Amino acid sequence: MRSRVALALPLILALGGCTDLAAVSMLSTKLVTASASWDAVGGELKASCERQQQFNPALTSCDTEAAASAGLVALNTVLTQYFTALGDAANTKSFTVQPGIDALAKSAGAIPGINAAEVSATSGLASLLIRLGTEAAREKTLRALIDEGAPLSKQLLTALDRTVPQSLQTALGAERDQMTAAFAIYIQQGGDRMGTDPAAMCAKGPRAADFHAGANFMLALEYCQRVGALQAKLDSVGAYRKSLASAQAALDELASSKTQLGAQALITKLGQIGKDLDTNIKAVAKAFGGGAKP
């Protein structure tokens, strides 16, 4: 019996070594941050409606927009939980019973008359065997998460990409037009004009000499400040789409490399995807707030 254990020991040692899944863990952290920034984007449908109500009396309720924002946040929560589970499964600490074994060996070793060396050897072997079991459980959990969860997550990200940017552009565009109309009318009623291209006026910056009344110049300044913030949000819809694409690419890489999650090639690819995500998340967070700090 002892010789069989001795023969098996090198194999146990080789198999029992934990796979380095630091890249998967890192990616999980970035995806969790990304989904937090998507919350801010989702919340924008409600926020934009409420801002537009300042200028549009026909927009009597924002209930539909609030429901859509809440639905998007709920979907992001499901994605966040999935990305978190991916990180938990990749984290060695989640799949170890070593603290329990150490406590058991310490207590057993302190019993009077017990051979401390035997306790140490037994607990060491038990530790290896249990590590094999836990490593297998970890692999099974991770594979299930990737095999079953990655296609579903990708499907949801695709659905977000297909609908949310267009909806957001329509809502933000309507808000911008309503605001432009309100300011244009105020300025025109004051005997001035905003020009046929308000965006061009704001790009150059309004000039006092172009207005007969000082109040109209002040209105133009206020308009340009507001429309600038809104335009930044519209421009960042592209970064939001890119962050969704990066998350999809990461899930593709995980799914195609699920048997070699510690392979250097995958680590390199995930590292690059993680950098792309960082860049786009920062742009989204800067425009919409929430998630990663710009």
Q: Which residues contact 241 (CB under 8 A, 6 or more apart)?
A: 161, 165
Whether residue 48 contacts residue 171, with contact meaning beta carbons closer than 8 Å, is answered with yes
Interface segment toward another protein; rule CB under 8 A; list 43-51, 220-228, 239-247, 262-270: 43-51
Write out the binding residues for another protein, residues 165-184 only, by CB under 8 A.
166-168, 170-171, 173-175, 177-178, 180-181, 184
Q: What does the block give as tokens for 286?
A: 């800067």
- 52/286 Cα distance (integer angstroms): 21
Tell me if 132 contacts another protein by CB under 8 A: no
Tell me if 82 contacts another protein by CB under 8 A: yes
Whether residue 214 contacts residue 222, with contact meaning beta carbons closer than 8 Å, is answered with no
Tell me if 18 contacts another protein by CB under 8 A: no
Write out the binding residues for another protein, residues 211-270 only, by CB under 8 A.
none
Q: What does the block give as tokens for 20?
A: 């380095």
Nearer to another protein, 84 or 272 (CB): 84
Write out the binding residues for another protein, residues 97-116 only, by CB under 8 A.
97-101, 103-104, 106-108, 110-112
For residue 268, the minimal CB distance to another protein (Å) is 26
- 150/34 Cα distance (integer angstroms): 16
For residue 291, the minimal CB distance to another protein (Å) is 19
Residue of 76, 120, 13, 26 whose CA lies nearest to 240: 76
Tell me if 149 contacts another protein by CB under 8 A: yes
Among 54, 115, 120, 163, binds another protein (CB under 8 A): 163
Residue of 28, 124, 157 whose CA lies nearest to 81: 28
Tell me if 7 contacts another protein by CB under 8 A: no
Tell me if 49 contacts another protein by CB under 8 A: yes
Interface segment toward another protein; rule CB under 8 A; list 45-53, 246-254, 259-267, 280-288: 45-53
Secondary structure letter of residue 145 according to DSSP: I
Residue of 164, 163, 206 whose CA lies nearest to 183: 206
Interface segment toward another protein; rule CB under 8 A; list 24-32, 188-196, 245-253, 260-268: 188-196
Interface segment toward another protein; rule CB under 8 A; list 76-84, 243-251, 269-277, 285-293: 76-84
Residue of 169, 236, 176, 166 whose CA lies nearest to 202: 176
